[in-house]
Amino acid sequence: MQIRGDSNAPTIGDGDIVLIDIQATDIEDDKIYVIQDAGNLLVRRLQLEPGDKVRTLCDNPSHREFEVARSSLEIVGRLVWRGALL
């Protein structure tokens, strides 16, 4: 999958290619996942919160974070590799 946007810069940049493990849908704290939100694919770092909550974060602080119920989160897979053009 090719990344569009700077929401996870500097970790993942615009135009980077990422490999997603679609079998890795169980949340590991502070790992980066592709999630589906209102029909859009988003790349977000997920942090487990007490109870049924998950905080979704961007590595770029200029982008907003949000909290969702773990049971309503649709995880596509976990990022396992990133490649970038030199």
What pLDDT does residue 13 have?
Answer: 95
pLDDT digits (tens, 9 = 90+) for 23-47: 999 999 999 999 998 889 999 999 9
Determine the Cα–Cα distance for residues 74 and 66; give it in Å rounded to an integer: 14
CATH number for the region 17-83 comes to: 2.10.109.10
Amino acid letter, residue 65: E
The pTM of this model reads 0.91
Cβ partners under 8 Å of residue 25, min gap 6:
75, 76, 77, 78
Query: Which one, of 14, 31, 49, 70, lies nearest residue 6 by Cα?
Result: 14
- The answer to whether 32 and 8 have CB atoms below 8 angstroms apart is yes
pLDDT values of the chain reduced to their tens digit, one per residue, 86 residues: 999 999 999 999 999 999 999 999 999 999 999 999 888 999 999 999 999 999 999 999 999 999 999 999 999 999 999 998 88
Query: Domains of the chain: which residue ranges?
Result: 17-83
- The answer to whether 30 and 22 have CB atoms below 8 angstroms apart is no
